[in-house]
Amino acid sequence: MVAKPQPLRPVTLITGASSGIGEALAHCFAEAGHDLVLVARSREKLRVLAEALSGAHGVTAMVQVADLSKPDAAKTLEQALRRKRLGVNVLVNNAGVLAQGGFVTLPAATQQAMLDLNIGGLTAMLAAFLPGMVARAAAGAPGRVLNVASIAAFQPVPSLATYAASKAYVLSLSESLAEELKDSGVTVTALCPGITATPMLDAAKDANARVGRIPQFLIGDVHDVARQGFDACLRGETICVPGVVNRAAMIASRSTPKWLLRRLGGIFGRKAIEDSAEK
């Protein structure tokens, strides 16, 4: 009796996979039986994660070290996977960086680093991988894209001006591509989490004591955020905002006059900058 060939597992590429939401998403996709391409700058963290996921779920987890803020990093990554004849079915753009403080006090290099990774790196990943995903979808292998934005994408956030603007770009691009690719077999989802318990939050607390006073009920669990993003991605939803409070804030921000959003953001933002300066 001839054994039937086993179906190929879908391949999910996750950037910023070494910690936080990216790591939690890696667990979600591995549990669902996806082989993984784990991308970040830390080889050792990725190696440990890859071994854990392979051992727990029997999937293949490949480590690819890359700094996606660098020019041609995304293109180099795509070429490396193409040489391995590895097609990506799900692309998760999670890599990002945050810096808090007044715009005029943050170094220009810090501002540029946010733009290079949050905008430049994400856009380059889409440009490198979407054409192949669309081609495979036309051949019968649908694709999914999950871009990690932020609740900050919905309103101006003084003291996080550049970060919020970069995430607004991610949200706008995701919504545009979701419509542009509507009949292509590839869906695009923007995950817009609120404040989430990750190493990024820990760094923000170190920079500003006010962050440490945020009520616990406003801080999302990273595994719950990842699970909701994972589910929304596989369902092909365009926008996912985890948490009842965050969804209410998103709806309010889209219905509130812009001048009022700016005024309210300015009040809280100036206080945050003052607290950061006093630290």
Catalytic center residues: 163
Span between the terminal Cα atoms of the chain, in Å: 73
| Beta carbons within 10 angstroms of residue 251's beta carbon | 12
**CA dist list (Å): 41 to 17, 30, 86, 122:** 9, 21, 21, 15
DSSP line for 41-93:
S-HHHHHHHHHHHHHHH---EEEEE--TTSTTHHHHHHHHHHHTT---SEEEE
